[in-house]
Structures are given as C-alpha cells and as structure tokens.
Structure 1
Amino acid sequence: MLRTQFEEELLNLHNQFYEMGMMVSSAVHKSVRSYIKHDKTLAKEVIDNDVAINDMEVRLEKKSFEMIALQQPVTTDLRMIITVMKASSDLERMADHAVSIAKSTIRVKGETRIPEIEKEISDMSDYVKKMVDNVLVAYVKTDEKDARTIANMDQRVNEYFNQIYNSSIKNMENHPETVVSGTDYLHVATYLERIADYVTNICEWIVYLATGKITELNTNHDE
C-alpha cells in the first residue's frame, strides 16, 4: 500500500515540476516579447506571476524533504527527488531573470532604439526558449542523450551574446543617443545567457537522474 502511495506522490512531484517548467518557459517568452514590443502590461503580468512560480518551488522543496524523511527512498527514487529539488531551484532562478527583463521593459522611456539589435535579441530569446522547452521534454523522458545535446546548444547562445554585445558597444560609440538602450540590450542579453546556463544545469541533473553521475557539461559556468 505504502509503495503505491509513494509512487503516486513521486508522479505528482514529477508533474508539478513539469508544470513549473512550463510556467517559467512562458515567463521567459513573455518577458522578451514585452521588451521588444514595449508592452508594459505584459511585462507586469510576468512580474505578478513570479509569486506563483516562487510558491511552486517552495512547495516542491517542502514535499521533496517530506518524502525523503518519511519514505527513506533509495537509489532511483531518491535521485528523482533530488533532481526535482535541484532543478526546480534552477527554474526559479530562470524566472527571476525573466522578471529582470520585464523590469527593463517598464524602465524604458522613449529612448532611441536600435531595431537590428532588438531583432537579434528576439532571435536569441526564441533560441533560449527552445532550450527551455526541450529540456523539460528531456526531463520527462529522462533522456541523457538529449540532455547532452541541449547543453551543447549553449555555445550558440554565447555567440548570440557576443554578437549583441559587439553591436551594442559599436552603436553606443557611434551614436551617443543610444547609450541608454544599448546598456539595456547588454543587460537583457546577459539575462538570456544566464537562463541558458541554468538550462545547462538542468541538463546535468537529467544526466544524474539517468546515470547517477554528477557531470559538468559546460565548463564556462557563471553562477
């Protein structure tokens, strides 16, 4: 009897983590859309929704501790609970960066914008969102191979970042009126790069879930 109840709780934990992941994916997407479209209402939605994401992380963590304490799970089950605990804290940090992007949207007041850089930011964010969505699927399937592939996508994110960085700096040097926007672009690109780093962390937890080994997938980790 206990075993089936435990399995049900484990499945619930799994599903709640996935649900939290979908909320975070949506936050990332909306925050960048609000930024590019100067949509302060959408930005505010991202900021308001963050409370629900934080609550979800707290609930997941509490439930995880409870299951470890009461059921004393072993090997695979324990790995799954630890993965949810660790990966949900990565998700929560990703959501914090989405909030930072949304706050940039609200801050921007009629500054001179640079459309071609905004296009690059939009492309970068689509790519990062694809990583977020893919990592959730890899988690559900406990797919180690996919996790490693997704972690490698991070190199492309770094290329996007460098491109945006160089364009912004060049623009700010040549057109002083773009300094405020340019600085903001650098921030937004940094937040997106960080989100991709947290996706890579989750990839590492998926590899751990599949193999029981803690593996460094990308060496250039920023905390």
Structure 2
Amino acid sequence: MNTRSHFDQNLKELKDLLMEMARISENAIKESINTLIHQDIEKAEEIIKNDTEIDVLEHEINDKAIILIAKESPVARDLRKIIVALKISSEVERIADNAVNIAKSTLHIGLEKHIKEIIDIPKMMDMALDMLSNSLTAFLTEDAELAKKCAKKDDQVDEMYGKLIRELMGYIQQYPDKMNQITQLSFVCRYIERVADHSTNIAEHVIYLVTGERIDLNA
C-alpha cells in the first residue's frame, strides 16, 4: 500500500470511529428524552452510567489522530482533516453530556405528575438532531453549503427554545409548588438548545476544512 492509500485508510478509520461516536450520542439524546416523557427512572440511571462508552471512543479517536500525525506527518489540507475530526469529536462528546444532563433532570423530577404533556420538547429535539445529522453529512462529503444551512436551522431552534421557556415561566404562578419541575424542564430545553449549538460548531469546523476560513455561523 502506497503512502497516500495508507493515509486515506487511516483517515477513513478515524471517520468511522467518529460516526460511531455520533450515532451513540444521538441515540443517547433520543433515549434521554424518552425517559423524561415516560418518567423511566431506571433507564435514566442507565444513560448516566453508559456515558463512559463515549469517553472511551473519544480517547480512541484522539490516540488514532496523534499516531496518524506522528507517523504520516500530514501537511496542509490533510492535517486540517485530522484537526477537524478531533474538534468534531469534542463537540459530539459534549452532545452526549447533554443526554446525561437530561437524564439527571428526569431523576430530579422523579415520578411527580408532569404539569403538561411533553410534546414540544421532543419536536425541538428532532430539529436539533436533524442539524447534527446534516452537519455530520457535510463533514463526510466536505459540503460547505450544507454546513451553512445549519445556521438557519439553529435560528429555528433558538426561537422554539425562547417560546418554551416563556411558556414554562408562565406556569410559575399557576403551579408554585412545581418550581423544581419547571426548573428542570427549562434545563432540558437548554440542553437541547446546546445540542443545536454544538451541531452549528461542527458545521463551522466543516467550513474551515473546506475553505480554510473560520466563520461564525451564529453571527
């Protein structure tokens, strides 16, 4: 195998690890919201416990990237590909952290009856995870235009986040004894909004990979 083929194969393995990490993180977000909806305490505890799986994958990606840089001595665009993969793995790890945070909020609420049916939060989650999917596809295909579209979707998530927070704050007078639940549901909305932010960050890394320029898609 020649040097170019060897590098491409190692880079593919790095990307495969990253996609596996993203798949696990995305699934963790979905499961954490399901635990909230169904108040599944046992599942919430399992999500928190399984967070180490993501950490192991991130360490594996970091180690592989370091070895790739040391052995292949990549320059210019090839080096950017490795650096961007490392940055994206960090964003994906933080997305998984938000799944853990949502599970913890589920535990804090416990079996207390919800003040309202959990309908809009899953919708917001779908929007944020769609952004994640698009930003990762943009990374794999090196599509800067697809990456830029994430900024517009982030605005939609922010708008829904504001709407949900205002709605939750409106329940304070109506349910003064439910302050803990209102607070935790507000946290959950914030955690999902952060998933969208991390997805936008991934999109920014993709644009840097393709163009070599650093831009702020939230500007």
TM-score scaled by length of structure 2: 0.94
Q: Across the two proteins, how many residue pairs are aligned to each other?
A: 218
Moved more, 182-191 or 134-143: 134-143
1:50-61 alignment to 2 at 5 Å?
50-61=51-62
1:197 paired to 2:176 = no
Amino acid at match of 2:31: K
Q: Which residue of 1 aligns with 2:28?
A: 27
1:145-156 alignment to 2 at 5 Å?
145-156=145-156
CA distance in 1, matches of 2:90, 2:20: 14
Paired residue secondary structure (2:111): coil
1:167 paired to 2:154 = no
Deviation at 1:205, TM superposition (A): 0.6
Aligned-pair identity in percent equals 34
Instruction: Write out per-residue CA displacement over residues 24-58 of structure 1, whole angstroms, 9 at most, x where no aligned residue.
Output: 11111111111111122332332232111111111
1:1-223 alignment to 2 at 5 Å?
1-116=2-117, 118-219=118-219
Paired residue secondary structure (1:78): helix
Paired residue secondary structure (1:107): helix
Deviation at 1:131, TM superposition (A): 1.4
Moved more, 203-212 or 32-41: 32-41
Deviation at 1:66, TM superposition (A): 1.7
Instruction: Write out per-residue CA displacement over residues 176-210 of structure 1, whole angstroms, 9 at most, x where no aligned residue.
Output: 13212111111001111111111110000111111
CA distance in 2, matches of 1:131, 1:36: 22
CA distance in 1, matches of 2:113, 2:178: 5
CA distance in 2, matches of 1:115, 1:146: 36
Contact 2:129 2:195 in 1 (8 A): no
Moved more, 53-62 or 34-43: 34-43
CA distance in 2, matches of 1:109, 1:16: 35
CA distance in 2, matches of 1:53, 1:9: 20
Paired residue secondary structure (1:217): coil
Gaps of 5+ in 1: none
Contact 2:135 2:202 in 1 (8 A): yes
Deviation at 1:61, TM superposition (A): 1.1
Instruction: Write out per-residue CA displacement over residues 97-117 of structure 1, whole angstroms, 9 at most, x where no aligned residue.
Output: 11000111122233241225x
Deviation at 1:172, TM superposition (A): 1.1
TM-score scaled by length of structure 1: 0.92
User: Could you say what the CA RMSD is over the residues aligned between the two structures, in angstroms?
Assistant: 1.4
Paired residue secondary structure (1:213): coil
CA distance in 1, matches of 2:111, 2:9: 53
